[in-house]
């Protein structure tokens, strides 16, 4: 495939018969591990970046430049397309244009834009508010006009605010505005997921599988049968990493040594393999000479 067209590569994966599993990463290392596990795309969640950069919840504190910087790091770490959370676009339609341009220059394949009011918050938190449908349509048109290759995923948070009927109507309007993929956030039951699939299944659809969130966790194959083309797992890996860090750090402070948790760590050799030390050594031998 043409590596210079990551958006096209992303949409080719979305449009296959098999549901694409988009697993979330939050830095270069976690992105490499997603790819190593078989990930055909890496997702960068705004919630995960807020957690890893600030140690804060997903309540609109992360800026566009912080997200783009983290996305660029992930793009440079992997060979697969990178799909990124772009929140509300960080302002009005003009801000959305700049957001699209910045993510595209960073090499990102796709972003999703949502119709929340600022300050936005995690799609499974209480207290969300949404902008008028027409405002979001204008922002999506600005995004489509500004892009070269970038795929645009339109997310609506209306289901938890104004109801599923409005969310489906909004999603249809967002498809008409040029969105490539639709993302109805926080359906609360299998029946809700099935309805989204039935009413919007002529357009590529994404389902967000968040542990502890409003939406039931459904197997990717079942999501496919419901009409969903992408299954998103935004923060599963980060939650696993946080639990492991808590346990390992606790062991060191309680026991005074890490010996009791060595079986929970990658080895020295495994870490070097993940980070590509051998290829760096080859480059050193080629270019550095006696300075290596």
pLDDT digits (tens, 9 = 90+) for 111-161: 999 999 887 766 566 768 899 999 999 999 999 999 999 999 999 999 989
Whether the upstream peptide bond of residue 255 has omega within 30° of 0, thus cis, is: no
| Domain co-membership, 215 together with 249 | no
Q: Which of 112, 121, 133, 170 is catalytic?
A: 112
Given 196, 214, 235, the domain boundary residue is: 235
Longest dimension (CA), the chain: 69
Residue 114 bears catalytic tag: yes
Distance CA 179, CA 228 (A): 16
Domain at 37, CATH number: 3.20.20.60
| Domain co-membership, 64 together with 108 | yes
Residue 84 bears catalytic tag: no
Residue 72 in any domain: the answer is: yes
Residue 124 bears catalytic tag: no
Q: Which of 114, 180, 192, 229 is catalytic?
A: 114
pLDDT reported for residue 127: 67
pLDDT reported for residue 1: 39
User: Domain of 256?
Assistant: 242-291
pTM of the full structure: 0.92
Residue 1 in any domain: the answer is: no
Residue 185 bears catalytic tag: yes
What is the tally of structural domains in the chain? 2
Given 216, 235, 254, the domain boundary residue is: 235
Residue 155 bears catalytic tag: yes
Cross-strand partners of 44 = 25, 84
Residue 282 bears catalytic tag: no
Residue 284 bears catalytic tag: no
Given 193, 215, 235, the domain boundary residue is: 235
Residue 112 bears catalytic tag: yes
Which residues of the chain have a pLDDT value below 50?
1
| Domain co-membership, 263 together with 186 | no
Distance CA 89, CA 95 (A): 6
| Domain co-membership, 262 together with 163 | no
Q: Which of 21, 73, 84, 87 is catalytic?
A: 87
pLDDT reported for residue 125: 64
| Domain co-membership, 252 together with 230 | no
| Domain co-membership, 95 together with 111 | yes
Q: Which of 70, 133, 155, 170 is catalytic?
A: 155
pLDDT reported for residue 58: 78
| Domain co-membership, 262 together with 205 | no
Distance CA 130, CA 115 (A): 6
| Domain co-membership, 171 together with 200 | yes
């Amino acid at each position: 495939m043409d590596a210079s067209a990551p958006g096209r590569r992303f949409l080719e994966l979305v449009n296959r018969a098999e549901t694409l599993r988009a697993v979330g990463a939050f830095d270069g290392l976690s992105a490499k591990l997603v790819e190593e596990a078989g990930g055909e795309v890496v997702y960068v969640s705004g919630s995960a970046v807020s957690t890893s950069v600030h140690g804060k919840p997903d309540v609109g504190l992360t800026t566009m430049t912080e997200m783009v910087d983290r996305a660029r790091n992930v793009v440079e770490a992997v060979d697969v397309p990178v799909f990124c959370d772009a929140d509300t676009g960080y302002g009005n339609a003009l801000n959305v244009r700049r957001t699209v341009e910045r993510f595209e220059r960073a090499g990102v394949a796709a972003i999703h834009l949502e119709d929340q009011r600022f300050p936005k918050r995690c799609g499974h938190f209480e207290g969300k508010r949404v902008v008028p449908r027409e405002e979001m349509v204008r922002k999506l048109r600005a995004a489509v006009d500004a892009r070269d290759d970038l795929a645009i995923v339109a997310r609506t948070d209306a289901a938890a605010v104004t109801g599923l009927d409005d969310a489906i109507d909004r999603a249809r309007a967002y498809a008409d505005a040029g969105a490539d993929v639709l993302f109805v956030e926080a359906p609360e039951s299998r029946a809700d997921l099935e309805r989204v699939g039935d009413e919007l299944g002529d357009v590529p659809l994404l389902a967000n599988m968040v542990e502890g969130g409003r939406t039931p966790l459904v197997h990717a194959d079942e999501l496919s049968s419901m009409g969903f083309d992408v299954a998103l797992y935004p923060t599963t890996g980060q939650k696993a990493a946080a639990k492991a860090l808590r346990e390992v750090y606790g062991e060191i402070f309680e026991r005074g040594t890490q010996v009791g948790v060595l079986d929970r760590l990658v080895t020295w050799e495994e870490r070097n393999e993940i980070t590509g030390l051998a290829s760096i050594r080859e480059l050193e031998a080629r270019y550095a000479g006696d300075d290596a």
